[in-house]
């Protein structure tokens, strides 16, 4: 039984589709240079620590919160209101 070329073309398009599958996790963060992203996160984590008076023991929490903050700002496309303007 032969498969029609229309069906094959349709399957090929699905395999190369730019749209993600409905149930697959999607990163909402647009492409950014990894080193630039790391620098933005480090800066945001620093300002979080500064607001706390640099009390030790919260470095991981600061980093993870800053990571979320930066990724959200990149997704929305506006700087976060919690940190100085990102340049």
Would you write out the chain's pLDDT as a tens digit for each of its 87 residues?
Answer: 554 454 444 544 454 545 555 554 555 545 889 999 999 999 999 999 999 999 999 999 999 999 999 999 988 865 555 655 544
Q: What is the C-alpha separation between 71 and 28, in angstroms, rounded?
A: 8
Please tell me the predicted confidence (pLDDT) of residue 76.
Answer: 84
Q: What is the C-alpha separation between 65 and 46, in angstroms, rounded?
A: 11
In this structure, is residue 80 part of a structural domain? yes
Q: Is 63 exposed, middle or buried (0-12, 13-18, 19+ CB in 10 A)?
A: middle
Task: Give which of 87, 84, 46 is closest to 65, Cα–Cα.
Answer: 46
In this structure, is residue 54 part of a structural domain? yes
In this structure, is residue 25 part of a structural domain? no
Please tell me the predicted confidence (pLDDT) of residue 24.
Answer: 45
Please tell me the predicted confidence (pLDDT) of residue 87.
Answer: 44
In this structure, is residue 43 part of a structural domain? yes
In this structure, is residue 13 part of a structural domain? no
Please tell me the predicted confidence (pLDDT) of residue 31.
Answer: 81
Please tell me the predicted confidence (pLDDT) of residue 29.
Answer: 47
Number of domains present in the structure of the chain: 1
Q: Count other C-beta atoms under 10 Å from residue 82's C-beta.
A: 13
In this structure, is residue 15 part of a structural domain? no
Residue linked to tokens 């070329």: 5
Q: Structural domain of residue 38, as residue ranges?
A: 34-87
């Amino acid at each position: 039984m032969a498969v029609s070329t229309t069906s094959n073309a349709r399957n090929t398009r699905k395999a190369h589709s730019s749209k993600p599958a409905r149930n697959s996790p999607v990163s909402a963060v647009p492409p950014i240079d990894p080193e630039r992203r790391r620098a933005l996160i480090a800066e945001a984590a620093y300002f979080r620590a500064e607001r706390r008076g640099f009390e030790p023991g919260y470095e991981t929490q600061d980093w993870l919160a800053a990571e979320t903050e930066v990724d959200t700002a990149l997704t929305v496309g506006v700087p976060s209101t919690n940190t100085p303007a990102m340049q």
